[in-house]
């Protein structure tokens, strides 16, 4: 309970104030625990930041059923894409992403921590699914990581671009479902083995 409370408080403050200006004292105060308790759960502010990112990724992206169905890759990838966009378009994710970009020059380690805890894990997750799919013989995704990045980049679409810039995106969000379906279909079609594509 304390662990999750500390994480939630840290996420809230990192989003509101950024990484550099958030102190462990403030996190402890908001979580209503001692600073020593915060350090007993998380060894440093860096560790807490990484854990906060990982917890957000886990909330949206990691479930027992996500990216498990290799018999219906279209549906599996569209469902994944919906979760992925919910994560990317959440207020928390946008705030943390902006913080990392704003502080990339002065705190380059922050951007690296963010990348390893969030994007890199999702890239690996998708690459793992594509590898399982490829073993079935219908698709060829090699190199796997490159294919994973290609799909994830395409899925972001206009909604994410507009939200990062704080522009209205309601019209684009209404079309997002169809966009994801078409993007996944084009991706799978482009990676069909030649014998299957004929």
Q: How does pLDDT run across 67-119, given as a tens digit for each residue?
A: 999 999 999 999 999 999 988 888 888 888 888 888 778 878 888 888 888 88
Q: Output the pTM of the full model.
A: 0.80
Q: What average pLDDT does the chain have? A: 88
pLDDT 10s digits, 28-61: 999 999 999 999 999 999 899 888 888 877 777 6
Two structure tokens written together for 109? 């380690």
Report helix, strand or coil for 9: helix
Whether the per-residue pLDDT at 196 is higher than 70: the answer is no
Q: 159-164: long-range contacts at Cβ-Cβ below 8 A with a sequence spacing of 24 or more?
A: 159/85, 159/89, 160/85, 160/88, 160/89, 163/89, 163/94, 164/94, 164/97, 164/98
Rounded-to-integer distance, Cα 24 and Cα 37, Å: 10
Q: Are 33 and 7 in contact (CB under 8 A)?
A: no
What residues contact residue 87 under an 8 Å CB cut-off, 6+ apart? 56, 57, 59, 60, 61, 93
Cα 12 to Cα 8: distance, rounded to the nearest angstrom: 6
Per-residue pLDDT at 198: 46
- Report CA torsion sign: 58, 60, 61, 64: positive
CA angle centred on 108, ends 121 and 52, rounded to 5°: 45
CA distance linking residue 114 with residue 111, whole number of Å: 5
State residue 6's pLDDT score.
Answer: 93
Tally of helices (H runs) and strands (E runs) in the chain:
12, 0
Q: How many CA atoms lie within 13 A of 151 on its CB side?
A: 31
């Amino acid at each position: 309970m304390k662990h999750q409370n500390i994480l939630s408080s840290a996420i809230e403050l990192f989003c509101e104030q950024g990484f550099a200006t958030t102190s462990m004292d403030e996190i402890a105060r908001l979580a209503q625990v001692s600073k020593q308790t915060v350090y007993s759960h998380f060894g440093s502010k860096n560790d807490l930041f990484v854990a906060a990112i990982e917890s957000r990724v886990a909330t949206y992206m990691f479930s027992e059923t996500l990216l498990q169905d290799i018999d219906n890759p279209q549906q599996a990838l569209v469902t994944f894409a919906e979760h992925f966009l919910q994560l990317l378009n959440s207020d928390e994710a946008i705030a943390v992403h902006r913080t990392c970009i704003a502080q990339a020059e002065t705190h380059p380690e922050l951007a690296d921590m963010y990348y390893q805890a969030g994007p890199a894990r999702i890239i690996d997750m998708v690459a793992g699914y594509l590898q399982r799919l490829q073993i079935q013989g219908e698709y060829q995704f090699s190199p796997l990581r490159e294919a994973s990045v290609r799909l994830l980049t395409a899925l972001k679409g206009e909604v994410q671009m507009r939200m990062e810039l704080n522009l209205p995106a309601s019209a684009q969000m209404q079309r997002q479902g169809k966009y994801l379906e078409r993007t996944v279909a084009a991706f799978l079609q482009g990676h069909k083995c030649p014998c299957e594509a004929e």
